[in-house]
């Protein structure tokens, strides 16, 4: 019997018994063909998003992970600094002056309002949707690989 005929016979049996995906996976594992099947099934062809395996994968050594995290932190600091500098926050908005009974000036600074304003500016500076975060992560990985 040729390989094609054997395959057709096995497929016919599978259909007759109503084999499910879990059982098929078990059979592939028992045949020692799991890795081969994954390589054959995952190609460069466009696949529906929900079926595709992530196209970007990074493996870091401990030191590379530290460098990656430092680069992310540095980019965050730069974005925060730029956001605050461009926000036009002026301290006099948060300063209150009072003339005391003995003709001295009392100053009160509303630090909570300033902190709240800074937090708002920082929140506005970052895009946190999945696509933006993924783009930033892959951008850092690409940047690191060019060093």
Enclosing H/E stretch for 71: helix 62-87
* pTM value > 0.75: no
pLDDT band at residue 130, thresholds of 50, 70 and 90? confident
| Helices then strands, each counted (H, E), the chain | 6, 2
In the block, tokens 């992310």 appear at 72
Position 49 scores a pLDDT of 56
Q: How many CB atoms within 10 Å of residue 140?
A: 19
Give 85-94's long-range contacts (Cβ < 8 A, gap of 24+).
87/117, 87/118, 87/121, 89/114, 89/117, 89/118, 89/121
Position 61 scores a pLDDT of 82
Position 60 scores a pLDDT of 78
Task: Give the total residue count for the chain.
Answer: 147
pLDDT band at residue 102, thresholds of 50, 70 and 90? confident
Q: How many CA atoms lie within 13 A of 146 on its CB side?
A: 6
């Amino acid at each position: 019997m040729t390989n094609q005929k054997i395959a057709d016979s096995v497929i016919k049996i599978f259909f007759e018994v109503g084999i499910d995906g879990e059982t098929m996976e078990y059979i592939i594992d028992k045949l020692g063909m799991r890795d081969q099947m994954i390589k054959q099934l995952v190609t460069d062809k466009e696949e529906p998003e929900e079926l595709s395996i992530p196209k970007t994968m990074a493996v870091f050594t401990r030191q590379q992970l530290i460098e990656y995290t430092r680069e992310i932190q540095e980019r965050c600091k730069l974005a925060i600094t730029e956001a605050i500098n461009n926000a036009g926050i002026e301290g006099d908005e948060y300063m209150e002056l009072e003339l005391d009974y003995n003709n001295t000036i009392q100053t009160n600074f509303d630090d909570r309002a300033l902190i709240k304003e800074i937090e708002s500016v920082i929140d506005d500076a970052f895009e946190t949707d999945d696509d933006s975060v993924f783009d930033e992560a892959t951008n850092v990985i690409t940047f690191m690989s060019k060093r």
